[in-house]
Structure 1
Amino acid sequence: MSNTLYPNPLIEQRADPHIWLHSDGNYYFIASVPEYDRLEIRRSKTLIGLADAPVSVIWHKPDTGPMSALIWAPELHFINGKWVIYYAAAPSQEIVDGLFQHRMYALVCEDADPLTGKWVEKGQIQTPIDSFSLDATHFEHQGKSYYLWAQKDPAIRGNSNLYMAEMENPWTLKSPPVMLSKPELEWETQGFWVNEGPAVITHNGKIFISYSASATDENYCIGLLWADINSDISDSAQWHKLPKPMFTTQADNLQFGPGHNSFTRDESGQDVLVYHARNYTEIDGDPLYDPNRHTRLKTIEWDENGMPVFGIPPADNQPLIKQQ
């Protein structure tokens, strides 16, 4: 499928997009909303249909407490017969020592329909270090269930590193976390030292982790780790980091700061990159509070070595109405 067949953007003002293709044949979409105050899901039989699909709000943040501010980067998964949403939340908008105070949380729904079912809060995902953490995802590999996320280690320079651990259940870690990557290369340390937003895809004997790096302005970009699919992926030495980013700002196409991706497949089975980007760089104040990171789709190619080729962010192909 040609990239130009996708409306670009697909969904306006939805950052950190995650699309889950379920066994029922439906695509389920969840993302950060500009108000950072709720979790909403939309469902469609087609990828493009997500753009106009009805929105179901399944959870609102409380007024007070540890989950009362800045609801970020939700992901919807189906694990062991249960729907699970991972999300990050903070007790306030306060910044301490240069960081927000996010921790990771889980919601679980045991009903068949996640749009109408009952969601139960499972509380904070506990990790050995109680520190800024966010952007959790889940994947299964060789019969094991894994949790993959970004977190600050006070002993390591930067905002966040990437960690992975085996799971006991969808809201409890089983094994000690292993650090897979930290911001160290020039393109990972622009504005902020960041590795975050991991996503997993497998292809032709390899397992890949994409991730986002640097500040959330035009410096934001996507990097890649990979390991042999038969290796011990809990051994950090098995993971290789590509020296250059996979997906970066394309000024000629007015696409700035592409990042925080997930992966899905289109109706024909082709792999699709799901990501957000802005179409301008003139941002008043903190980029975090600029609402115009829009959800976008792009098909992925694979080279002769079995490595993904993301290409460049395609230009917008429809007029945008900027909402302030």
Structure 2
Amino acid sequence: MPPQPCLNITSTPTPDPHFTHVHGKFYLTFTANDRIPLWEAPNLLDFWEKPKIGPVWRPPPNTPHSSRLWAPELHALQGRWYIYYAAADPAQGNRSHRMYVLGGPPASEDPHDASRWEFLGPIQGMDQRQWAIDGTVFELDGELYFVYSGWPMRPQREWNDFREDLQLLYILRLSDPTTAASEPVEICRPHQPWEHLGHIGICEGPQWLEAPDGSWRGLVYSCAASWTKHYKMATLEYLGGNPLDPASWKKSTEPLLQDSDDGQGPFGPGHGCFLNFGGETVALFHATDSDTDGNQGRKCRLQRVEWSDQGPHMGEVLGSSTRDIDMFSKLLVHYDCIHALKVLLTIA
């Protein structure tokens, strides 16, 4: 069976895309470095050329959180909109990245109103000595959890502030959307060869994924190097029990999605998010058109997620990309999902 095709969603770079579907609209935010952008459109196809565009937050200049704003995520939690993102001090650079939170309007209202957003600071109670990026929030069995990518702890139980070649995934429990209620626990480190690029080992970009029938729950994370064609996604299955116990998580033995070796592209799929709709699941992630684009040409793509008793499947490698929804549907003729995908892409 040939690899599944992917559908091009954005025409300009939108690295680390994160989508939310609410109030009959799709909202997209992504890494823009100097601001938190928020785009909206009535359907996913409209993000190509006619989304409503506008930032909802620009940090005050020359503050410890005014540079390299990465991987924002929009979440409706406990009746209010929140955006979680990483930011750095321009005087310190990457080593100063920490996680921050914005508070927005009530979740019943449109989040695309910049006047309603306020800076809430870092997550209260989260250890600010640790380098941290790519935070995400999810609810599991009635509790809120925060998962992020961080540099490791030294044997002396001090955080590394210089180890840029090793990133692990950590989880902590939240008592509310802005307050940590536990210490962070390591649940994933790069020990597979495909999680490495030379001496660099990276696990980042965690995203919650759940089968429509609840038969599989867990995290999809990105690994290897985001600035290369070797970027890819893998899974961390939640086995049940205490999410703060590393034994509750099981890493996949192979990547969920990576670029094909046919040299045709797209390249370097990673840092995706997931939408369940009409019994179907789709992944929205970034990938480049050229294997030499680095981190400058990462555009959003869509691909279907299939489910089996073993969990999610995406064909292991990226297939050809297209913008033509009818062609995309024809390429999917051997999958029973055309109607659901057309509804998802054109919903008003």
TM-score (norm 1): 0.86
Question: Which runs of structure 2 are paired with 1:54-93 in the superposition (5 Å)?
Answer: 54-92=52-90
Whether contact under 8 Å (1:21, 1:265) holds in the other structure is: no
- What SS does the corresponding residue of 1:40 show, helix, strand or coil? strand
Q: Which position in structure 1 is the counterpart of 2:302?
A: 297
Paired with 2:24 and 2:237, the residues of 1 have a C-alpha distance of: 29
User: For 1:9-52, what per-residue CA distance to the aligned partner results, in whole angstroms no more than 9, with x for missing partners?
Assistant: 43420000001122x2322111112xx11111122332223332
Q: Which position in structure 2 is the counterpart of 1:115?
A: 112
* Residue 139 in structure 1 maps to residue 131 in structure 2: no
Q: Which position in structure 1 is the counterpart of 2:208?
A: 200
User: For 1:79-99, what per-residue CA distance to the aligned partner results, in whole angstroms no more than 9, with x for missing partners?
Assistant: 00110000111102755xxx5
Whether contact under 8 Å (1:220, 1:248) holds in the other structure is: yes
Paired with 2:26 and 2:9, the residues of 1 have a C-alpha distance of: 17
Q: Which position in structure 2 is the counterpart of 1:315?
A: 320
Question: Which runs of structure 2 are paired with 1:156-195 in the superposition (5 Å)?
Answer: 158-191=165-198, 192-195=200-203
Q: Which position in structure 2 is the counterpart of 1:16?
A: 16
Q: What is the RMSD of the two structures over their aligned residues, measured on CA atoms?
A: 2.2
Which blocks of at least 5 consecutive residues in structure 2 are unaligned? Answer: 155-159, 325-348
Q: Which position in structure 1 is the counterpart of 2:333?
A: none
Which among 35, 44, 48 is matched to residue 47 of structure 1?
44
Structure 1 residues 102 and 206: CA distance shift in structure 2, 3 A: same
Deviation of 1:166 (Å): 1.2
Equivalenced residue count is 303
Structure 1 residues 193 and 272: CA distance shift in structure 2, 3 A: same
Deviation of 1:251 (Å): 4.0
* Residue 235 in structure 1 maps to residue 245 in structure 2: yes
Paired with 1:92 and 1:251, the residues of 2 have a C-alpha distance of: 38
Q: Which position in structure 1 is the counterpart of 2:327?
A: none
Paired with 1:260 and 1:41, the residues of 2 have a C-alpha distance of: 17
Paired with 2:208 and 2:51, the residues of 1 have a C-alpha distance of: 26
Structure 1 residues 93 and 190: CA distance shift in structure 2, 3 A: farther
Structure 1 residues 200 and 29: CA distance shift in structure 2, 3 A: same
Q: Which position in structure 2 is the counterpart of 1:209?
A: 219
Q: Which structure's CA Rg is the greater one?
A: 2
Whether contact under 8 Å (2:150, 2:167) holds in the other structure is: yes
Whether contact under 8 Å (1:223, 1:246) holds in the other structure is: yes
Deviation of 1:142 (Å): 0.8
Deviation of 1:269 (Å): 4.0
Paired with 2:75 and 2:189, the residues of 1 have a C-alpha distance of: 26
Structure 1 residues 250 and 61: CA distance shift in structure 2, 3 A: farther
Give the partner amino acid of 1:213. C
Deviation of 1:129 (Å): 5.6
Paired with 1:314 and 1:48, the residues of 2 have a C-alpha distance of: 19
Q: Which position in structure 1 is the counterpart of 2:340?
A: none
User: For 1:105-130, what per-residue CA distance to the aligned partner results, in whole angstroms no more than 9, with x for missing partners?
Assistant: 00011341211151011101252361
Q: Which position in structure 2 is the counterpart of 1:37?
A: 34
Which among 248, 256, 273 is matched to residue 258 of structure 2?
248
Deviation of 1:187 (Å): 0.9
Deviation of 1:243 (Å): 1.6
Which among 213, 221, 226 is matched to residue 237 of structure 2?
226
Q: Which position in structure 2 is the counterpart of 1:322?
A: none
Paired with 2:66 and 2:128, the residues of 1 have a C-alpha distance of: 21
Query: Which 4+ stretches in 1 moved above 3 angstroms?
Result: none
Paired with 2:319 and 2:70, the residues of 1 have a C-alpha distance of: 26
User: For 1:133-163, what per-residue CA distance to the aligned partner results, in whole angstroms no more than 9, with x for missing partners?
Assistant: 1001111111111111111124287432111
Structure 1 residues 221 and 316: CA distance shift in structure 2, 3 A: same
- What SS does the corresponding residue of 2:207 show, helix, strand or coil? strand
Whether contact under 8 Å (2:223, 2:233) holds in the other structure is: yes
The more displaced of 151-160 and 273-282 is 151-160
Deviation of 1:241 (Å): 0.6
Deviation of 1:231 (Å): 2.6
Paired with 1:295 and 1:176, the residues of 2 have a C-alpha distance of: 34
Deviation of 1:7 (Å): 4.2
Paired with 1:195 and 1:174, the residues of 2 have a C-alpha distance of: 23
Paired with 1:177 and 1:282, the residues of 2 have a C-alpha distance of: 36
Whether contact under 8 Å (2:9, 2:47) holds in the other structure is: no
Deviation of 1:318 (Å): 4.7
* Residue 279 in structure 1 maps to residue 289 in structure 2: yes
